[in-house]
Amino acid sequence: MADLFSAQWMNRFQTEWNNESELADALAKIGFNSTIAYGIDGEDAPRGVLVIEGGKAVKSGAYAGEEVNWDLRASEESWNKWIEKGLGMMGLGMAYTTRKLKFEVGDYGAMIKDPRMAGPFIKSFTVMGRV
């Protein structure tokens, strides 16, 4: 298995993202465009990046200094737990309030209040489990 959020891991995540209608199609309906970075809490920079255009992942790889709309950080242990078991709405709320999941960039409050975004965000953790 590729290292978490490495270029190889992110490329597989891109494929799985686009294969999941509850994620890609749902975000396409709202014209979601974003550059999302993923990384380990405490590291200087994120490890991987995913570029979304019209709900579809169009580019992925190792983070290379791109400007991002979202930068999600957690411990490697937490990421692995969520990837293995998924993350529901209540778990997401707990992860955020206990600072296990940090939004270095991005507005958690705005995202979670919009069910058109919150549902796909939760689904992205399930999709990570397929990588």
Domain of 40 in residue numbering reads as 7-128
Residue pair 71/37 in contact (Cβ under 8 Å)? The answer is yes
Mean pLDDT of the 6-30 span: 95
In a domain, 2, yes or no: no
Q: What is the pLDDT of residues 53-99, one digit of tens each?
A: 999 999 999 999 999 999 999 999 999 999 998 888 888 888 888 99
In a domain, 98, yes or no: yes
Q: What is the pLDDT of residues 36-51, one digit of tens each?
A: 999 999 999 999 999 9
Q: What is d(CA 56, CA 59) in angstroms, rounded to the nearest whole number?
A: 9
In a domain, 97, yes or no: yes
Q: Give the number of residues written for the chain.
A: 131
Q: Which two tokens stand for residue 39?
A: 């990384």
Give the total number of structural domains in the chain: 1
Q: What is d(CA 17, CA 23) in angstroms, rounded to the nearest whole number?
A: 7
Give the pLDDT confidence score for residue 2 in this predicted structure: 61
Q: What is the CATH number of the domain that holds 115?
A: 3.30.1050.10
Higher pLDDT, 2 or 83: 83
Residue pair 48/70 in contact (Cβ under 8 Å)? The answer is no
Q: What percent of the chain has pLDDT over 70?
A: 98
Give the pLDDT confidence score for residue 59 in this predicted structure: 98
Return all residues near 55 (Cβ < 8 A) that are at least 6 apart: 23, 24, 25, 26, 27, 28, 29, 30, 31, 32
Give the pLDDT confidence score for residue 75 in this predicted structure: 96
Helices 89-97 and 115-128 pack at an angle, to 10 degrees, of 90
Higher pLDDT, 14 or 109: 14
In a domain, 38, yes or no: yes
